[in-house]
């Protein structure tokens, strides 16, 4: 079974530039998560999708971050404009439909450096 | 108050000892609880999950859940140097929330 795919693995941008991350979840997984993990901290939930709908985006800085999940499968996370404090690893995870084991499987992450 | 809070680290134990990791959560609606292990530079990987009050054992790992106290713990018996990592506690109600992690170091 293929895992959660993320791209790119690394990205370096200047502040005020824009950047986009892509995530392809495990086939059949209804729930998709985007987390931001700053060095030395735990993953912070940015947005959680259930199929096409948003379950929670209370911690998403909506003035600069946006996310969408196309047709309930792939997802993109965009930052525009980036700030220095956005430097972090962005983790995408997916889990099976509610009712079964809801373990979240993580992708390898995208390490973003804003200079 | 943080939604999921873990005991501060780093925690250092000698090889062969028991490591005890603790976690509290604030949302009483949380139903599922997970322990993930994260090696430096890697993504989190699941090591244990627990849904019901009491203990759940899997090899050297035992997860404990007390919903009345809103408390989850992970015990690692016969700790090995390869167990050295950051351990993340997560709680799931409608959303999946992680704690800040506890760094464990097992000294040979």
Q: What does the pLDDT look like over A13-53, one tens digit per residue?
A: 999 999 999 999 999 899 999 999 999 999 999 999 998 89
Task: Show the 3-state SS of A11-54.
Answer: EEECCCCCEEEEEECCCCCCEEEEEEECCCCCCEEEEEEECCEE
**At B19, phi and psi to the nearest 5?**
-100, 135
Q: Give the residue carrying structure tokens 């502040």.
A: A15
A46 → chain B, closest CA residue:
B97
Q: What is the overall mean pLDDT for chain B?
A: 95
Task: Determine contact, residues A43/A37, Cβ cutoff 8 Å.
Answer: yes
Comparing alpha-carbon positions, the chain B residue that sits nearest to A91 is: B43
Q: Is the minimum CB–CB distance between A49 and chain B shorter than 8 Å?
A: no
Residue A71: the pLDDT is 84
pLDDT of residue A101: 58
Tokens of A103: 């373990």
Supply the pLDDT for residue A25: 96
- State the average pLDDT over residues A86-107: 87
Q: Which residue of A has its CA nearest to B38?
A: A42
pLDDT band at A2 (very low <50, low <70, confident <90, very high): confident
* Integer Cα distance of B52 and B46 in angstroms: 18
Block residue for tokens 């030395």: A40
In this complex, how many residue pairs, one in chain A and one in chain B, have their CB atoms less than 8 Å apart? 47
The CA–CA distances, whole Å, from B44 to A73, A80, A107, B39, B108 equal: 22, 27, 9, 7, 24
Q: How confident is the model at residue A103 (pLDDT cuts 50, 70, 90)?
A: confident
CB A103 within 8 A of CB A2: no
Look at residue B93 in the predicted model and tell me its pLDDT.
Answer: 85
Measured between beta carbons, the chain B residues lying within 8 angstroms of A23 are none
Q: Answer yes or no: do B98 and A101 touch at CB < 8 A.
A: no
Q: Which of B5, B37, B42, B44 to mutate to test the interface with A (most CBs of A within 10 A)?
A: B44
Which pLDDT tens digit goes with each residue over B51-77? 999 999 999 999 999 999 999 999 999
Query: Which residue do the tokens 């209370």 mark?
Result: A58
**Token pair for B66:** 């007390």
């Amino acid at each position: 079974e293929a895992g959660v795919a993320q791209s790119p693995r690394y990205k370096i941008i200047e502040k005020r530039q824009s950047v986009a991350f892509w995530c392809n979840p495990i086939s059949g997984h209804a729930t998709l998560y985007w987390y931001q993990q700053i060095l030395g901290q735990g993953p912070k939930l940015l947005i959680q999708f259930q199929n096409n709908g948003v379950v929670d985006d209370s911690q998403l800085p909506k003035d600069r971050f946006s996310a969408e999940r196309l047709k309930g499968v792939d997802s993109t996370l965009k930052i525009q404009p980036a700030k220095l404090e956005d430097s972090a690893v962005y983790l995408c995870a997916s889990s099976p439909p509610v009712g079964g084991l809801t373990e979240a499987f993580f992708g390898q992450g995208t390490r973003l450096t804003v200079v | 108050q943080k939604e999921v809070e873990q005991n501060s680290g780093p925690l250092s134990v000698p090889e062969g000892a028991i490591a005890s990791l603790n976690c509290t959560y604030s949302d009483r609606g949380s139903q599922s609880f997970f322990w993930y292990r994260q090696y430096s530079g890697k993504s989190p990987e699941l090591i244990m999950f627990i849904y019901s009050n009491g203990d759940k054992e899997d090899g050297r790992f035992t997860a404990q859940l007390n919903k009345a106290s809103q408390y989850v713990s992970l015990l690692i018996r016969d700790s090995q140097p390869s167990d050295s990592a950051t351990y993340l506690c997560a709680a799931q109600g409608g959303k999946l929330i992680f704690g800040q992690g506890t760094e464990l170091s097992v000294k040979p």
